[in-house]
Chain A
Amino acid sequence: MPRSVPTICPYCGAGCGFYVNVEKGRATNIEYMADHPASEGALCSKANASLEVLYHPDRLLHPVKRSGDQLTRISWDEALEAAARGLAGTLRRFGPDAIGILSSSKCSNEENYLIQKLARLLGTRNVDNCARLCHAPSVVGLNRSLGAAGMTNPFADLANSRCIFVIGSNLAENHPVMSRWIHKARSKGAIVIVADPRRTPTSWMADHFLQLRPGTDVALINAMASVAIEQGLIDRQFLDLWTCGYQELKSSVKDCTPSWAEGITGVPAEDIVSAAQAYAASPASSILYSMGITQHTTGTDNVQALANLALICGQIGREGTGLLPLRGQNNVQGACDMGALAEFYPGYRRADDPSSIEHFRQAWSASDLPVGRGLTATEMIDAAADGRIRAMYIVGEDPVNSEPHGGHTITALESLDLLVVQDIFMTATASHADLVLPAAAWAEKEGTYTSTERRVQWSCRAVDPPGEARTDLQIVCSLGKRLGLPLDYPDASAVLAEINRLVPAYQGITRDRLGPGGLIWPCPSVNHPGTPILHSSGFKTADGRATLLPVHYRPPAEKPSERFPFTLTTGRIALHHNAGSMTRRSPSLMQRAPNLFVEINPADAARLQIEDGDDVEVSTARGRTRAAARTTGRVSRGVVFMPFHFPGTNILTPDARDSQAGIPEFKVAACNISRSD
């Protein structure tokens, strides 16, 4: 008799659930979960194809050691001993700051909690996860403006919106299930505004489409704020009760007129005015945003500009309103909540605050814990290149493909004394490792994942890992023990119990309460029903008020030049996910999206004598890549787009970072494009 085991999808942050059917210990198919609160049973192409990844012949089956170009199979005992000896040696010779640990936003909350605990008990501050490459500006910006960094309202609440403003998010392709909620609102009459440099399937849903130039978001958003103020569409009462800094904000956007913004963004002034009116005047407006906002040198500014707009219009803290950052990975929200971040301990306790250190020192019975902000994911790569970091332990991340300026990343990782990579496949990063540890995939382990809605859900174990692969939880615990650290947990429930004690927002999210649909944090006690809507009675700041923080438009780090006359922007497509180590191994997805392409406007293509399907070379100051040209009106003249799921794209992207959140500017690079023959 087949069993149906409920699991949470391993791809994006939407947190859709589905059942894995198991017969005789083998996953045979998947089945939809019709009553799931985020998806109502729907699944995207990637989730439908997820079992192809589980049983892929490339799965890592046993630990591997590299010497020179030679890969040798070793036992777990040898692997853990070698990893522990290497880390301990680095610690002894160069001190804790010479160790860098990358946790994974693909791993469960429990695993992330243990990985950051391992790092900090070892004494290193350098622990981070790939949120650094996606929503670090949301964590920094929203915490600063609103006192909390999560999505404010759940998906289902979008049906109550009367105006939905989507900026820098191609959710129809990247979080397809979101289009369901937007359509529900639309069929009840909601107005949809989409701002994006590309005409995407998301823009097909729009009443107002604002095709702005890449990296000009602050100008657009400030101009919308200025229109709202000029036309008296702000919420005076809300501003007086719940915010501070309005006068400063008002004077900061005084000169941001729609015609000024038109000059910068390329969006006609009258379109900016009508979008601003629609957003500000509607009884309930929500903002959805994603990487198009965050992956800029002005990422944090972009987020704060959006928070300002929402606050002055009073579009927050009620049904149908709010700021909804759409998270890219299944557990990027949870990895941040669990403190797998350079600047935060679990529960966003600041790493530079002595009281948080004391709190965790006592809780973990540690003699000492590292104080202060550590190196971020991107900074660790720099530090590896210049020798400050000598050993890295990377869990479930593929920086060679996901970090910008790929050539630099490879040189950096090659110069390490020790690189330990733990993953389900031999990724590009793993192929540079000294030790590769085979890990279990989502359906082979249990634990909680926190979706972009802040929904914490338990995912069950359906089948055993292949070969000798082990769960990340088991591996981290056994590595910890060999390093003499008190990391002894029988299972995920035991770790969750500790998280319940130490992270206030998760206090009431206990194992026995996690049924279908999970619970939405903050959930401070075991009787608490969870909090779907944030900020409904003031903000989590010292005085309960949100802060309006003026931001000023700054151009992106790279401008088109004579040598690199085009602007390259990057993003995701419907059939692939992030660095592609899973989706590029999925035959039914590869059959539909087999290769790297570059979108170019037909007018630009004609001038360069490039035809659709031609093999072209795209180059930037960092390197060059070949791709198939796709001539399309999706992009404006002067702009080209490449998805980042294939090796090649991130060879091109720039090192320039947001000074506040450390996110690289994946969305704007000056490039050239030419036929390769």
Chain B
Amino acid sequence: MPIYVDVSRCVGCRSCEVACQRVHSVTGHIRVGIQDDLASVPLVCHHCQEPTCAMACYSGALIHEGERTSFDLNKCTGCGLCTLACPFGIIHVQKVAQKCDLCSGREAPACVTTCPAQALSMMTYEEATTRLRSLAAAVVVRGGRA
């Protein structure tokens, strides 16, 4: 299940970055972009249904596997093609590709658990869209106020 990002809740505290870095010891795989001091956006792997990074990866390090794009460190050559292929600018190379593994082995990814504002959550596509619909309905009831 990928990580669902609710941009309207993110407060730009960067706790997810530090948590990810802590769990993966070298470098983090999530980054928070702060836009003109008006909003912030956590940038994290979408685990795309048709991942272009995996298509570009000639060594087979990045592979689409069920609901996620997995990464095999031993196969990565550090060529950086995935960086160019990712349409969201998320994957980057620091010796090898730095790629979200959804914290396999943990109950939930560290960034999701640690997020103080609950801007990150684990949801299926159906859960996420249902939630958005109910929020939109609540806005209508409140006279258009978000």
Chain A residues at the B interface, C-beta cutoff of 8 Å? 29-30, 32, 34, 39, 41-45, 48-49, 172-173, 176-180, 183, 187, 189, 191, 199, 201-202, 204-205, 207, 574-575, 588-589, 592, 632-634
Query: Hey, which chain B residues are within 8 Å of A592, CB to CB?
Result: 14, 17-18
Closest 3 CB pairs of A and B: A176-B116, A172-B11, A45-B18
Contact B118 A180 (CB under 8 A): yes
Task: Report B-chain residues with C-beta under 8 Å of the C-beta of A205.
Answer: 11
Q: B22 and A588: CB pair below 8 A? A: yes
User: How many Å lie between the Cα of A30 and that of B117 in the bound state?
Assistant: 20
Taken residue by residue from 61 to 92, chain B's Cβ proximity to chain A (1 for < 8 Å, 0 otherwise) reads as 00000000000000000000000000000000
Q: List 5 A-B contacts (CB under 8 A).
A: A39-B116, A41-B114, A45-B14, A588-B18, A633-B36
- CB-CB under 8 A from A29, the residues of chain B are 22
Q: Which residue of A lies closest to B118 (CB)?
A: A180
Contact with A along B112-146 (1 / 0, CB 8 A): 01111110000000000000000100100110010
Residues of A contacting B18 with CB < 8 Å?
45, 48-49, 588-589, 592
Distance, CA A244 to CA B19, complexed state (A): 50
A525 to chain B, nearest CB (A): 35
Where the two chains meet, the residues of B that have a C-beta atom closer than 8 Å to any C-beta of A are: 9, 11-15, 17-19, 21-22, 36-40, 110, 113-118, 135, 138, 141-142, 145
**Which chain A residues border B116 with CB–CB below 8 Å?**
39, 42-44, 176-180
**Which A residues are CB-close (under 8 A) to B113?**
32, 34, 41-42
Q: Are A204 and B39 in contact (CB under 8 A)?
A: yes
Query: In whole Å, how far is B84's beta carbon from the nearest beta carbon of chain A?
Result: 26
Contact A48 B117 (CB under 8 A): no
- Cβ B17 vs Cβ A45 within 8 A: yes
With a CB–CB cut-off of 8 A, which chain A residues contact B17?
45, 592
Are the CB atoms of B19 and A48 closer together than 8 Å?
yes
B39 with A183: CB separation less than 8 A: no
Inter-subunit contact A633/B9 (CB<8 Å): no
> Does B15 contact A187, Cβ atoms closer than 8 Å?
no
CA distance A42 to B14 in the complex (A): 13
In the complex, are the beta carbons of B135 and A187 less than 8 A apart?
A: yes
Q: Cβ of A49 and Cβ of B22 under 8 Å apart? A: yes
Question: Across the interface, which residues of A come within 8 angstroms of B118, CB to CB?
Answer: 42, 180, 183
Indicate which residue in A30, A177, A189, A632 contacts B142 across the interface (CB closer than 8 Å): A189
Q: How far is the CB of A164 from chain B (nearest CB, A)?
A: 14
Q: Assess whether A179 is in contact with B11, with CB atoms less than 8 Å apart.
A: yes
Residues of A near B117 (CB, < 8 A) are 172, 176, 179-180, 183
A199 to B34, CA, bound (A): 14
Bound-state Cα–Cα, A45 to B39, Å: 18
CA distance A179 to B36 in the complex (A): 20
Residue of A nearest to B32 (CB): A592
In the bound assembly, the distance between CA atoms of A204 and B35 in angstroms comes to 12
- In the complex, A473→B142 CA distance in Å? 55
Chain B residues whose C-beta falls within 8 Å of the C-beta of A49 in the assembled complex: 18, 22
Q: Are B13 and A43 in contact (CB under 8 A)?
A: no
Q: Which of A172, A191, A632 has the most CB of B within 10 A?
A: A172
Residues of A within 8 A of B11 (CB): 172-173, 176, 179, 201-202, 204-205
Given A574-B14, A592-B17, 20 extra CB contacts under 8 A: A30-B22, A32-B114, A41-B113, A42-B15, A42-B116, A43-B114, A44-B116, A45-B13, A48-B114, A49-B22, A173-B13, A176-B11, A176-B15, A179-B11, A179-B116, A179-B117, A201-B11, A201-B13, A575-B14, A634-B37
Smallest CB separation, B27 vs chain A (Å): 10
Query: Smallest Cβ distance from B35 to chain A, in angstroms?
Result: 11
Given the interface pairs A32-B113, A180-B118, A589-B18, the reply to whether A574 lies near B12 with Cβ below 8 Å is yes
B6 closest partner in A (C-beta): A183
CA distance A201 to B117 in the complex (A): 11
Min CB distance B111 to A, Å, is 10
Measured between alpha carbons, how far is A592 from B11 in the docked complex, in Å? Answer: 16
- Complex contact B145–A207 (CB within 8 A): yes
Q: Write the nearest CB–CB distance from A162 to chain B, whole angstroms.
A: 11
Contacting residues, chain A, for B115 (C-beta < 8 A):
42
CA distance A223 to B114 in the complex (A): 40
**A residues near B39, Cβ cutoff 8 Å:** 204
Q: Closest Cβ of chain A: how far from B119's Cβ, in Å?
A: 8
Of B9, B22, B145, the residue contacting A183 (CB under 8 A) is B9
A202 to B14, CA, bound (A): 14
What CA separation (Å) do A201 and B15 show in the bound complex?
14
CB distance from A145 to the nearest CB of B (A): 31
Closest residue of B by beta carbon distance from A41: B113
- A201, B142: Cβ atoms under 8 Å? no
Alpha-carbon distance A202/B39, docked complex (angstroms): 11
Residues A204 and B38 in contact, CB atoms below 8 Å apart: yes
Shortest Cβ distance from B39 into A: residue: A204
In the complex, what distance in Å separates the CA atom of A172 from the CA atom of B110? 20
A45–B110 Cα gap in the complex (Å)?
12
Q: How far is the CA of A204 from the CA of B118 in the complex (A)?
A: 15
Q: Does the CB pair B15–A43 fall under 8 Å? A: yes
Residues of A within 8 A of B22 (CB): 29-30, 48-49, 588
Question: What residues of chain B lie closer than 8 Å to A172, measured between beta carbons?
Answer: 11-13, 117
Q: Which residue of A lies closest to B116 (CB)?
A: A176
> Within the assembled complex, what's the spacing in Å between the Cα atoms of A205 and B118?
13
Cα distance, A205 to B10, chains bound together (Å): 10
Are A44 and B15 in contact (CB-based, < 8 A)? Answer: yes
- Chain B's closest residue to A202 (CB) is B11
Query: What residues of B have a CB within 8 angstroms of the CB of A178 in the complex?
Result: 116
Bound: A48/B110 CA distance, A: 10
Chain A residues with Cβ below 8 Å from B141 are 189
Chain A: minimal CB distance from B7 (Å)? 10
Closest-CB distance, B4 to chain A (whole angstroms): 14
Cβ distance A537 to chain B, nearest Cβ, rounded Å: 34
Q: How far is the CA of A243 from the CA of B55 in the complex (A)?
A: 71
Residue of A with least CB distance to B142: A189
Q: Which residues of B contact A191 (CB under 8 A)?
A: 145
> In the complex the two chains form, what is the Cα distance from A179 to B113 in whole Å?
15
